Amino acid sequence: MANNRVMVAGVEVSLDHWIGGRRVASVNRFANASPIDGSDLGAVAAGGQAEADMAVAAARAAFPAWAALGAAGRLPILRRFASGIMTRAAEIAAVETADNGSLLAGNLHRMVPRAAQNISFFAEWALGLNDHAIDHPEVVNNVRYDPSGVAVLITPWNAPFMLTTWKVGPALAAGNTVVIKPPEWAPLSCSLLADIAHAAGLPPGVLNVVQGIGEEAGDALVNHPDLARISFTGSTDTAKIIGQAAARSITPMSAELGGKSPFIVCADADLDAAAQTVAGQYINAGQVCLAGTRIMVEASIEAAFLEKVRDAVDQMTVGDPRDPATRVGPLIHPDHFARVAGFVERAKAGGAQLLWGGERAVAGALYFQPTMFAGADRDDEINQKEVFGPVLTWQTFVDDAEAIAIANGTEYGLAGTLFCGDEGRAMRIAEQVVAGTLWVNCFFVRDLAAPFGGSRMSGIGREGGTHSFDFYCNIKNIAVRKGSFAAKGV
């Protein structure tokens, strides 16, 4: 058994894969550094075809017994899994922060509890899946949600632990077995997830983790012929590559992708609340796919609202994410920093007006100032492409028709935020904005029962409640002719 373990933020973490209930090393390894200060977090096992084959084989072997347990049989194991996450919440939060630079307080108080809920919620929801019957004059339609097989789950680096459980929860509750491909820029919290799953009593092979570079480990997994499902969260460009692999074997795929979401502020809105929420778009250094990055303000309140936003942003302290006072931490990786900085420099060169920020916040480090551009054309790159950093744009509109036109003027359709004081007006605007989720007078409130996903280039499919099981299950209808069975005597 491999034993390549390191101490990260005071927590022992394995750097090896988790396959078939044991740790598996690889000859090849890749470096992993903390975005906080560049410190070395260890050489992580880099999987490829051999590890992908091993993991899928282990998941296939474990599938029949796990599926046969039924939802009620899986429930106590998944409850222990969720409980184990909460028991180790402080450790998970510390490792996640060290690995991807996200705020420690946010991980401890929001992300890790939500991860535990992702497991327990779907385990409970699965209990009622097969209770659905549809009556017909001739037959009774008995709708069943059957396990589908092995699911490959590919997760992003901005919130790897929580977003992995968002997939793992319904996949396991449905009776599937899973192979997780963590992000190479932040793989460590998924390694902890494997330890917690094992301690909770998940049978060997039910949950597997294959680490590695996307072009190697990820490619081997999504092209494997023995998959039942592929679920991916990440960039639109990567999704196109995975989609081609899925199409070759007709493997169902879900994809939650990027966004360039509008944040619409009407003149009659609660401007103080709206301004604070705009400033909140810089959280996690803007590395949030749902962020409302295009601020759209009714022209009559532009000057007054801009000052409110400026005041709110002035309170957004940039610094070490382990400090409770910090609101904006580092970008994830030097390559990503260069990408964000490139967007900013091109916007400057193109004539966009820099309202604030626009520079590295800490010399030699991965911290970038909260940034706002105004005056860019609607079709300019800075208004069209996902930056995935602390960079927002400022636009104005004169009426609802213009607001809707600007909001829908990109290739994306993941989310949107609207602050408005009139319910009728708010609903008219919301109904016409192309988005999978539209928040009105709030932001980032996600009910696990509600559908979540993107439109256009922002994704395929929906997750949440029964919508998740619609994807992870083989849905069967057993249509029984009424009166075709003789009634049994007493």
Give Cα separations from 163 to 258, 369, 384 (angstroms). Answer: 14, 26, 25
| Per-residue pLDDT tens digits for 43-68 | 999 999 999 999 999 999 999 999 99
Cβ–Cβ < 8 Å for 227, 60: no
Q: Is 10 exposed, middle or buried (0-12, 13-18, 19+ CB in 10 A)?
A: exposed
Strand partners, 153: 180, 231
Q: Which amino acid is at 358?
A: G
For residue 327, the model assigns a pLDDT of 96
Beta-strand pair 29-33/17-19: unpaired
Give Cα separations from 252 to 143, 174, 200, 301, 452 (angstroms). Answer: 20, 15, 29, 47, 17
Q: Which amino acid is at 398?
A: V
The phi-psi region of residue 101 (left if phi > 0; otherwise alpha if psi is between -120 and 50; otherwise beta) is: left
Distance CA 304, CA 297 (A): 11
Beta-strand pair 353-356/371-374: antiparallel
For residue 486, the model assigns a pLDDT of 75
For 63, half-sphere exposure in the C-beta direction (CA atoms, 13 angstrom radius) is 22
Quote the tokens at residue 170: 């319904």
442 classed as catalytic: no
| Per-residue pLDDT tens digits for 343-399 | 999 999 999 999 999 999 988 899 999 999 999 999 999 999 999 999 999 999 999
* Count of CB atoms situated within 10 Å of the CB of 237: 10
Q: Which segments in the chain show pLDDT lower than 50? A: 1
Q: Domain limits of the chain?
A: 5-257+454-477, 261-440
- Active-site residue, from 190, 289, 420, 473: 289
* Sign of the torsion formed by the C-alpha atoms of 262, 104, 34 and 193: negative
Longest dimension (CA), the chain: 86
For residue 489, the model assigns a pLDDT of 58
* Sign of the torsion formed by the C-alpha atoms of 50, 56, 61 and 65: positive
The string of DSSP letters for 422-454 reads: -HHHHHHHHHHS--SEEEES--S---TTS-B--
Cβ–Cβ < 8 Å for 180, 60: no
Distance CA 356, CA 437 (A): 29
Query: Which CATH architecture fits 261-440?
Result: 3-Layer(aba) Sandwich (3.40)
Distance CA 48, CA 408 (A): 40
The phi-psi region of residue 361 (left if phi > 0; otherwise alpha if psi is between -120 and 50; otherwise beta) is: alpha
- Active-site residue, from 51, 91, 216, 256: 256
184 classed as catalytic: no
Distance CA 209, CA 382 (A): 37
For residue 488, the model assigns a pLDDT of 65
Quote the tokens at residue 37: 């200060």
Q: What are phi and psi of 260, to 5 degrees?
A: -140, 65
* CATH code for the domain defined by 5-257+454-477: 3.40.605.10
Degrees to nearest 5, angle at CA 72 with 66 and 73: 40
Distance CA 76, CA 44 (A): 32
pTM score, whole prediction? 0.95
Cβ–Cβ < 8 Å for 379, 400: no
For residue 2, the model assigns a pLDDT of 57
Strand partners, 460: 255
Distance CA 482, CA 138 (A): 6
